[in-house]
Structure 1
Amino acid sequence: MSRHSSGKKEIKKTKKFSSGARTPKPTVFILGFLLIVVGIFGVLYNPANSIGNSSNPIEKTLPWKLSEAGILSFSPREEPVFAAQEIEDPYSPEDPDILKLISFESGDQNVQALLRIPANVPSVPGIVLLPGAGVSKEGEQGLAVELSKMGYATLTLDQRNKGAINVDRDLELFRAGLEPVEYLMVYDALKATDVLSAQSEIDHERLAILGESNGGRFAIIACALEPSLKGVIGISTSGYSTEETDPASVADSEAYRFYLSIDPDTYLSALPPSRLVMMHSFNDTVISHELALKTFALAEEPKAMYNATEETHGYTASMRPYLEKELAQILS
């Protein structure tokens, strides 16, 4: 039977009930119950709430919002859901660290991470560690081991696309009312903070976030959005200087608003009282030192910047004293 003929049959039943004939009480009860169910169904599945019919589909249907100034925000997060399994440590087998493989729910997928905890350190401070583009959680264990020797636990993520971004594709998703991957990457960092805080070995009142390169960009945004983070350290990173563009000269205002939303420079004013620390080489081979200086100049106190001289991109051994000094101040 087609849906059309079924609808006609339903109309005939309605006419029967409106004819004035006396209806048995059980039938009245059943009819009333069905009307309630239909009413609830109509509220839940009202087409006016769908993406295609909403006057502002992005903000009504997704777990994030974007202000007119391009500031991203998320709905309140639920309690973290994760699984943890202790594994052997092939990255630093001579150290007594505890290493766990963590899988936690974030948005539309499970994120894999490595939790490294210094042995015999009760209630240890924790750091969410975001690698640079193309670097896995395993590839970031060198820095994680360094941080463990300083007395800090780390939760190192496998970022989506291994930290690589496609701004044009994300803009297409944004225009379509879908969630840009970069928004998901920020949300992953926020959920990682929840997961790290939930570990029994971690002092949840002493948390920070650290990122290298692209990871540093997401770390700055996440720190601005999460007040439990005491500070953010960005190594070999910078903003995009989107604010230097005159909004009056922009033909596509929505694209401009999206670009603002993924630029860490947009969030710098929201960082305090969390501390911003930047470390950058004068001879960085990927992100210029000049760009890093622009971001640092835009930031408000408390902040600090340290410079290295190596011709490289990312963490270097010469940064270790600065890193140890700043973490002690942030997580004291």
Structure 2
Amino acid sequence: MMRGYFAAAGLALLVVLALFAGCTGSTPSPSYSVDKSGVLSVTCPQATANETVLVTNSTYTVSRYVLSTPTGNVVTYLSYPEKPKAVLVYIPGAGERVAGHADRMLAYAQAGYAFMFVDTRGRGGETEGYAFSPQEDYAKFKANNQNDWPEFYETICDISSARALLAAKFGVPVYAVGGSNGGRYAAVAAGTDKNFAGYIGISTADWGLKDAVLAQGGSGDVLRFAESLEPGTYLPKISPRPVWMYHNATDPVIPYALGEALYATAGEPKTFTEFNGGHGIDSDVDNKIIAHLAQIYGTQA
């Protein structure tokens, strides 16, 4: 089983080094800015990737992909058929581990798509960092040290860098996908990076930070910072690329109505689909996403 490949030690591993495609000659210095409307813009640092193949056969390959950035390594896992039709960069919610997605990664590969699981900074997994902390990130935002970014912004660059790597590797469209908290990061990444083919959000909504700041009479920098973290700031900017959102009507963590409210901020084309289950991605969502992709790329689950 694939789960054994994620956990097993002593496997014979094939290591391949790959550089991200980028501009030749001089490279702009990494920087970020947030405009008066709270919209984040980033010039991401160059990154490289180290791919360790865990298993490969005539149907699919599974590898551990480590993105090396100037501010640390970001661990990802990638499954793909020989010639994928599209790529999904998946940002997990709190508590999700790659082992829980082994069957899912295989299912997408068998359906003709590459699937990358990104272990984002500070989740307590294999990638170092601190847990999501608006307070700590706001202190960095106020300091405006371009050599010490808010971690949230670094993560947006990680997602964008993954997109660039996979687009160069496969030459196919790449979608930003996320569940729960991960759906929030993915929305910001898709709105910030126009090269994403679209956005897929599952059981997600705004953080509520902007509303909390406004309720306390906040304005100026603190409001602008809160807006820069909210998915709703970026969903209108994804159009005319597609937005697909999925939510369970009885979601026990993020209420359905909050998902609908975020969806309302998106431009066309967009779809909002109810699914059976609980909170976060599950097999019903997978089947719906694969069917939706099949309408575009002509593949079937």
TM-score tier (shorter):
0.7 to 0.9
1:251 aligned to 218, 239, 244, which one?
218
1:69 aligned to 25, 37, 42, which one?
37
- Residue correspondence of structure 1 range 1-332 to structure 2 within 5 A: 63-75=31-43, 78=46, 80-88=47-55, 96-118=59-81, 121-162=82-123, 164-177=131-144, 178-199=148-169, 202=170, 204-241=171-208, 250-310=217-277, 312-329=278-295
Work out whether residues 231 and 330 of structure 1, in 8 Å CA contact, stay in contact via their aligned partners in 2: no
- The CA deviation string for residues 74-127 of structure 1, in whole angstroms up to 9 with x for no partner, is 12654x4111121138xxx9x942111111223401111111112xx4354211
| TM superposition shift of 1:246 | 9.3
Work out whether residues 148 and 154 of structure 1, in 8 Å CA contact, stay in contact via their aligned partners in 2: yes
Work out whether residues 248 and 274 of structure 2, in 8 Å CA contact, stay in contact via their aligned partners in 1: yes
SS in structure 2 at match of 1:154? strand
Aligned length: 261
TM superposition score normalised by structure 1: 0.71
TM superposition score normalised by structure 2: 0.78
Q: Which runs of no fewer than 5 residues in structure 2 stay unpaired?
A: 1-28, 125-130
Which structure has the higher relative contact order (CA within 8 Å, separation 6+)? 2
When Rg is computed on C-alpha atoms for both structures, the one with the higher figure is 1
Q: Which amino acid aligns with 1:103?
A: V
Work out whether residues 104 and 112 of structure 1, in 8 Å CA contact, stay in contact via their aligned partners in 2: yes
Output the CA distance in 2 between the equivalents of 1:309 and 1:207.
26
Q: Which runs of no fewer than 5 residues in structure 1 stay unpaired?
A: 1-60
RMSD: 2.6
Output the CA distance in 2 between the equivalents of 1:287 and 1:264.
14
Work out whether residues 241 and 295 of structure 1, in 8 Å CA contact, stay in contact via their aligned partners in 2: no
CA distance 1:160–1:242, shift in 2 (3 Å):
closer
More helix by share: 1
Q: Percent identity?
A: 26
